[in-house]
Each structure stands twice: as structure tokens, then as C-alpha cells.
Amino acid sequence: MHFTTLLIEPPGIDSQLINLMLAPEKFLVNKAECGPKAWNLIIESDPPDLVIVDTDLPLNGNVRIGASQLMELMSRRSGWRKIPKLVLTSDSSSSIFQQTTKKNVCAAILKPYDPRRFIQEVFNCIRQRLDAHIKEINRQHIQLGTQIKNITNMLNQGDTINFKNRLGTILAEIEDHFAFEEQYMSQHFYPDFVEHQKGHKQVLTNAAKLIDEICTSSPMIANQKIKQLSADLFDVTDDKKYIGFLYGLLESLTTHLKTVDFKE
Ligand SMILES: [Fe+2]
Ligand SMILES: [Fe+2]
């Protein structure tokens, strides 16, 4: 499975155990053994699907960065904010238990823990992240559809100032949506990525041309061109294929979770 995990855990028996548990799942595991190393990784890298962080990080040396500073940093970085965090701790009174909703902590596990519970939580968190990604894609599709409907209404009402302003921003929104899909595709080895990206480029080129033409056309011609823009944008064969792939991943995570349950 093509999911990535950032493991923030000091070297030792816990780290070895987690590696042993994650290895058969074929996740890509990025490791940071101390706070400063994790800090740099969060600043420099793309966000993973899951962050596993131990609150018992050693606070030695001049730069003292612990789990709470790292959680704070991740909550300030847009790409990392919504990534689920699985927290391991040996302190039951730890404030981390109160942070579960605030900092996207999807599970806090008290050490020593049952390895099966750990793996279950890992799968649960990744499942939630994937589910959130599917929902976000659907939300963006609906939003783009609404934007196009709104510009048609503005045109029909003769609201030319708002109409031209909206047209100016809609292209950027389409571009952001495509970039959002492509980032997830490339990180999760989507097999039809190149083809899908080619389709995005084509739609974007056509959309830029159409938007230029809409701005300078009569209302009747502009209406036809908006319909054309909408048809290009929502020719969803590629997107349907991609969403099918995401549901396939979701299904495999769910099946795996059932297998872990069954073993208990
Ligand atoms: Fe797409
Ligand atoms: Fe899309």
C-alpha cells in the first residue's frame, strides 16, 4: 500500500518494535529520532498520510524541541494541519489526551500498548485521512459547479462588474483544484497519473482561452461559451477513474481492519 508515515520516535526498543509492526504493511516510513530532526522534516517535506509521535522525546542539547512544539508547528503549517496524528505516551496525565480534537490527534495510546491495537489505530487514522481526501475532492467539484452557475446568473442579470471579477478568479481555482488532485496522485502512485495530468493541462489551456473570449463576447455568445467551459470542466471520465481508485484503496484498508479484528 502506498501510504507514508512520519515516525518521530527516539532510537530504542519502542522504535524497533514499531518498525517491525509497520514493515509487513509496506508503508513508506520516514524516521526522525529527535525533535530538531522532526522539525526540519516538517518544514522541508511534503506531508505524509500519518504522523506517529512519541511524547517521550529526549530534550537534550541546545535546541529543546518536544512533541508539543512539533504539534504546534504542524498545526501552523497548512499542508500538515489536517494530517492525522497518532500519539504514543507513557504519561496518562499528559495534556495530549486533551488535545485530541484540537491538533488533529486521531488516537493517543498509553504505553505499554497492545501491538494489534497500535496497527488498528494506524489503519483507522490512514482510513480517515483518505476518506477526508475523497470528501474534499467532491466538495471542490461541487464548489466549481456552483461558481460556474453563479457566473451564468451574473451574466443573465447584466452584473458585468462582478461577472468579470469572478471570471478572473475562477481559472486560479481550477488550477488549485488540479494541483490538489495531482499532489495526492503522485504521492500515492496513481497508475493513470500521467494521462490524468495531460487531461488537466488540456482543460486548463481551453479554459484560459474560453475565459478570454467570454470577457469580450456578447451576452448570448458568452452564455454558450460558459456552457462549453462547464462541459470541458465536468467531462469527468478521468476523475471518475481516479475516485474509483481512491475507493479501491479505502476498501483495502477496511478489509485489512476487519482482518486485524478477526485475529483478536
Ligand atoms: Fe482531475
Ligand atoms: Fe477534479
In this structure, the dihedral spanned by the alpha carbons of residues 17, 35, 84 and 18, taken in order and rounded to 10 degrees, is 0
* Weakly modelled stretches of the chain, pLDDT under 50: 262-264
In angstroms, rounded to a whole number, what is the distance separating the alpha carbons of residues 2 and 119? 16
Contact 84, 128 (CB under 8 A): yes
Whether the CB-CB separation of 107 and 124 falls below 8 Å is answered with: yes
Distance 242 CA to ligand 1 centre (A): 8
Ligand nearest to the CA of 237: 1
Q: What is the pLDDT of residue 235?
A: 73
Cα 263 to averaged position of ligand 1 atoms, centre (Å):
39
Question: How many angstroms separate the alpha carbon of residue 33 from the centre of ligand 2?
Answer: 38
Q: How many other CB atoms sit within 10 Å of the CB of residue 124?
A: 18
For the chain, the helix, strand and coil percentages under 3-state DSSP, each to the nearest 5? 65, 10, 25
Residue 260's φ and ψ, nearest 5 degrees, are: -65, -40
Ligand 1 centroid – CA 196 distance (Å):
6
Secondary structure of residue 8 in the 3-state scheme: strand
Any idea which ligand is nearest the CA of 196? 1
- Residue in 170, 189, 166 with CA at minimum distance from that of residue 178: 170
Ligand 2 centroid to residue 193 C-alpha, Å: 13
- Which residues keep their CB under 5 angstroms from ion ligand 1? 181, 239
* pLDDT score at 17: 86
Q: Which three cell numbers stand for residue 240?
A: 471518475
How far does residue 123's CA lie from ligand 2's centre (Å)? Answer: 26
Q: Is 49 exposed, middle or buried (0-12, 13-18, 19+ CB in 10 A)?
A: buried
The answer to whether 43 touches 61, Cβ cutoff 8 Å, is: no
130-255 and 4-113 share a CATH fold: no
130-255, which class in CATH?
A: mainly alpha
Per domain, the residue ranges of the chain are 4-113, 130-255
Across the beta sheet with 105-110, the strand order is 28-32, 4-8, 50-54, 85-89, 105-110
The C-alpha atoms of residue 134 and residue 209 are separated, in whole angstroms, by 30
Q: Separation of 185 CA from ligand 1 center, angstroms?
A: 10
Q: What is the pLDDT of residue 264?
A: 46
Closest ligand by atom to 238 CA: 1
Ligand sitting nearest the alpha carbon of 193: 1
Name the closest ligand to CA 137.
2
Q: How far is the CA of 150 from the centre of ligand 2 (A)?
A: 19
Alpha carbon of 226 to ligand 1 centroid (Å): 19
Q: Determine the distance separating the centroid of ligand 2 and the alpha carbon of 93, expressed in angstroms.
A: 44
- Domain 4-113 belongs to what architecture? 3-Layer(aba) Sandwich (3.40)
Contact 242, 190 (CB under 8 A): yes
Query: 159-173 b/e with 16+ CB inside 10 Å = b?
Result: eeeebeebbeebbee
Distance of CA 3 to the CA centre of its chain: 11
Q: Per the structure block, which three cell numbers stand in for 135?
A: 470528501
Task: Write out the H or E segment, with its range, that includes residue 60.
Answer: none
